[in-house]
Chain A
Amino acid sequence: MSTMTTTTHYPAQGKAEQVESRTLCVLVDNEPGVLARVIGLFAGRGYNIDSLTVSETEHEKHLSRITIVTRGTPMVLEQIKNQLDRLVPVHRVVDLTRGAPAIARELAMVKVRGKGKDREAAARLAKSFDARIIDETPESYVFEVTGATDQIESFVSQMLPLGLVEVSRTGVVAIARGAEGM
């Protein structure tokens, strides 16, 4: 009896498995508290949220679409899907990163302040990223840029030395390729 070493009566943590990133699309009833249910689930069970976007997509049916980018081991990712599916207002959960690769985009607004060479460089860079100028003063730009997450990251990091002031991003929205709906 005295040979016991550990001082907890819970099983030890399992071996660390490979962590993967997934983009989940969750179709929910747009009712009060639905987002709190989803976020509360992630917070309460210790799941990660890398990005989350939500908007009503079918007004007559009051359905909202939530796009969540999350990370976890394959077992945890399966849990996340099942736990989401278990919520009463959740209609469907689709893993967009499984099977055929989906299209994922986000939109960023990027404010840059500067004059002279930096300002010109910022405008050139914006052009190469197909960013639009949506606000302009003699000493600043606000660019609107759309793309995959790594493109946005790249755009922002290249703007950094050119007088980056602030960034506002939507987070990822995603949709499957091809003719089929979710």
Chain B
Amino acid sequence: MTEMTGAEMVITALADQGVEHIFGYPGGAVLPIYDALFQQDKVQHILVRHEQGAVHAAEGYARSTGKVGCVLVTSGPGATNAVTGLTDALCDSIPLVVITGQVPTHLIGNDAFQECDTVGITRPCTKYNYLVKTIADLPRALHEAFHIAASGRPGPVVVDIPKDIQFATGTYSRPKEFQHKGYRPKLKGDPDKIREAVEMIAAAKRPLFYTGGGVINSGPAASESLRELVKLTGFPITSTLMGLGAYPAADKQWLGMLGMHGTWEANWAMHDCDLMICVGARFDDRITGRLDAFSPGSKKIHIDIDPSSINKNVKVDLPIVGDCGNVLEDMLTVWRERGAKPDKKALDAWWGQIGKWRAKNSLAYRNSNEIIKPQYAIQRLYELTKDRDTYITTEVGQHQMWAAQFYHFQEGNRWMTSGGLGTMGYGLPASVGVQLAHPNSLVVDIAGEASVLMTMQEMSTAVQYDLPIKIFILNNQYMGMVRQWQELLHGGRYSHSYTEALPDFVKLAEAYHAHGIRCEHPGELDDKIREMIEVKKPVIFDCVVDPAENCFPMIPSGRAHNEMLLGDAATRVEDAVTEEGKMLV
């Protein structure tokens, strides 16, 4: 119990929660907190260039560490600029605590300067939010915010603090044990259902694990349990965009990503399986395609910490509500106790079928000696960085899907991408957050030239804090995914998807005091990627790629998993190369 000001309470609570870094931007309504920041050295503040960048940086920080990401912004425009990041974090279940300044309590509702209804605006895009109206409530609100952000299905929490509360003096104490009155997420799965799931798994003939971001959010132990269960059963496994890395992509049971731009084998296995074991994924529309044709012959087990994810889009046969790490661990225990064995014979036949799908080589593309194919650029980036301690972020669009297809992750928390909201401009600031958390690692933002221009100003942040992020731009001068849809669905009318005036990215890098590289020919790609890795500065790598390349496979509009479109290289047998061969392309 200590007497202090509200502003000091903010900093003390952050320090008590183990926060080392906070991303923010000062302004009138948070000046007392900035003053308190100035007078201490426990919490380091990272000055961004735009509040959206602060939130994405905190997301990158949170996703690569498993900790809660923290943000400090001012009232009004500070808060509204944070909204995109908050929504992004809500969609992808990223734990954040975002502190916003507010006008003094007596001015709230008076349309004061830089006033906005922050709690009203952020109510639908946060897991929870607070407007703290008395100093006595502040310590509890701050600590509760961390608890709510990190527990259950994680998400962003906003604490809106009026300026007079920041100045007011009160008593600070850290709650010892935290028990919320109404909020108690269910973490353990129902034992009966877990036993039933094990029975179903043991009886399955054509099973498939379909896993998602929930496994990553649950932590490394959940990934371990998942790997063990997949090994014990010998079942194939696929994952959503959000779940990449929970299961090692190098393993032979891995089918690649599923969904709209997933592999032929993953999507066909989804369609034809007789048991789908969904772990921490949510049957999103990018995954299911046409709902009435979605995996018509399968029984479905759905493990999720959020009951509202269950039976939302797809009716499942066995829902298990709980933290997927706990549930997987319990499943392993039951599996062993029972001495359960998978149906080997049926499984062999299933793998035989999967082998045929794999032979389709659905990710194959026609490489070129003249022009850099975007897929090739990512393959080379992967080959030249895979033996390093590497983290990848992305923007949103074609490059993001190619990154998911061609960059292979062996562990969780290495892949930071905006999945649910699909926020262009996510990757660059996210890489700032990742690099800050992992100063000695290689952090690459696989970007598109259109996306990255949305938050390019954060290069300045990277330079200020000596964060040697690598912005690897697949520059096709188009909003590639928009162009692809216009080609396929809108008669090739490329309405406003071509950027007629792009900056010179090398000069732009230099203007930021960073390092710029431009690469136009496949032959020089390797050397220039090496240069990018070696330079101990932030780098903008302008990789000029084929502007006409489309991202395949693709499940077109309103189609089922078995109606996928393939690129022309994959459908022709003579072009089909072996898995090993593909790596060498």
Q: Which residues of A are at the interface with B, using a C-beta cutoff of 8 A?
A: 1, 4, 6-12, 14-15, 28-29, 32-33, 36-37, 40, 44, 75, 78-79, 82-83, 85-86, 88-91
In contact, B488 and A1 (Cβ under 8 angstroms): yes
Instruction: Output the least CB separation between B158 and chain A (Å).
Output: 12
Asked if residues B565 and A29 are in contact (CB atoms below 8 Å), the reply is no
B178 at interface (Cβ–Cβ under 8 A)? Answer: no
Contact present for B180 and A10 (CB under 8 Å): no
Knowing A8-B558, A14-B291, A90-B182 touch, does A33 contact B307 (C-beta < 8 A)? no
Neighbour of A33 across the interface among B123, B182, B288, CB < 8 A: B123
Q: Could you tell me the distance between the alpha carbons of A9 and B489 in the complex, rounded to whole angstroms?
A: 9
Alpha-carbon distance A83/B507, docked complex (angstroms): 50
Q: Are B308 and A79 in contact (CB under 8 A)?
A: yes
Given A4, A36, A75, which contacts B120 in the complex, CB threshold below 8 Å? A36
Q: Are A11 and B119 in contact (CB under 8 A)?
A: no
B:536-584 near A, CB below 8 Å? 556-558, 565
Across the interface, do B557 and A9 meet the contact criterion of CB distance under 8 Å? yes
Chain B proximity of A76: nearest CB distance (Å): 9
In the complex, what residues of B have CB within 8 A of residue A8's CB? 557-558
Task: Tell which of B127, B133, B288, B558 has the most Cβ of chain A within 10 Å.
Answer: B558
Segment of B310-318, B402-410, B435-443, B453-461 in the binding face: B310-318
- Given contact pairs A12-B291, A86-B307, a sample of 9 additional A-B residue pairs in the complex whose CB atoms are under 8 Å apart: A4-B557, A9-B260, A9-B485, A11-B288, A32-B131, A33-B119, A40-B123, A90-B182, A91-B182
Q: Please state if B307 and A11 are interface contacts (CB–CB under 8 Å).
A: no
Known: A88-B128, A88-B180, A90-B182. A11 touches B289 (CB 8 A): yes
B290 located at the interface, meaning its Cβ lies under 8 Å from any Cβ of chain A in the complex: yes
A82 to B305, CA, bound (A): 12
User: Using a CB–CB distance below 8 Å, which chain B residues touch chain A?
Assistant: 119-120, 123-124, 127-128, 131, 133, 148, 180-183, 260, 285, 288-292, 306-308, 310-312, 315, 485, 488-490, 556-558, 565
Closest chain A residue, CB of each to CB of B289: A11
Given contacts A4-B556, A78-B311, contact A40 B124 (CB under 8 A): yes
Q: Decide if A7 touches B490 in the complex (CB within 8 Å).
A: yes
A65 to chain B, nearest CB (A): 13
Docked-complex contact A75 and B308, CB < 8 angstroms? no
Assess the A89–B182 pair: CB atoms within 8 A.
yes
Residues of B close to A86: CB separation below 8 A: 306-308
- Complex Cα–Cα for A4 and B489 (A): 7
Q: A7-B489, A10-B285, A82-B308 are in contact. Are A36 and B557 (CB under 8 A)?
A: no
* A7 shortest CB reach to chain B, Å: 5
Looking at the assembled complex, report how far the CB atom of A37 sits from the nearest CB atom of chain B, in whole angstroms. Answer: 6
Of B182, B290, B556, which contacts A12 at CB under 8 A? B290
Closest to B481 in A: A9
**What chain A residues lie within 8 Å of B292 (beta carbons)?**
14-15
Contact between A88 and B183, CB atoms less than 8 A apart: yes
Q: Are A11 and B558 in contact (CB under 8 A)?
A: yes
CA distance A71 to B10 in the complex (A): 44
Residues of chain B with a CB closer than 8 A to A37's CB: 123
Given contacts A8-B557, A11-B290, contact A75 B315 (CB under 8 A): yes
Q: List 14 A-B contacts (CB under 8 A).
A: A1-B565, A7-B557, A9-B556, A10-B557, A11-B285, A33-B119, A33-B123, A36-B123, A75-B311, A79-B312, A82-B308, A88-B127, A88-B183, A90-B182
